[in-house]
Amino acid sequence: MSTSSIVQKIHLYESMKRFDRLPEFEKELKKLGTKYPSLSQDIEKFQVILNAYPTGVGKNFEIIHSSDTMKVVKARLACKSLKDRSIRVIYAYHGNEVTFVYIELYFKGDKANEDYERVRDYIKEHA
């Protein structure tokens, strides 16, 4: 197998990954995006990391739920507008479908912890 065919397969695989968002996440993104203008670009950079490491790498990622088909991860997203302080992102990675679903987005200075109920409801619906 040639190097170019391997690279083509990798690009095909990466293009198959989907990033979806819950409606609540969309509202949080819109609200925080007005306060922190770099947020949409920061999320794009974050997605590049997720393409390479779906459940993250390093101390900024914590798996809070794991099953055979899905992992829910709590991650720190460096926000340029916050001078690289972080915003928390909760997302689900569905390995069998190669899909990411953003569940929640919040700034730790505004809210201490994730919405456990929302995360639990998502897990119940998709487990």
pLDDT at 8: 45
* pLDDT at residue 16, rounded to an integer: 52
State whether CATH 3.40.50.2000 applies to domain 18-126: no
pTM for this structure?
0.84
What pLDDT, in 10s, does the model give residues 65-86? Answer: 999 999 999 999 999 999 867 8
Split the chain (127 residues) into runs of 10 and give each run's mean pLDDT: 43 63 95 94 92 91 94 94 88 90 92 91 90
The predicted pLDDT at position 85 comes to 78
Q: What is the pLDDT of residue 112?
A: 83
Tokens of 63: 């798996």
- State the Cα–Cα distance between residues 11 and 102, nearest whole angstrom: 23
Domain residue spans of the chain: 18-126
Residue 117 has what pLDDT?
95
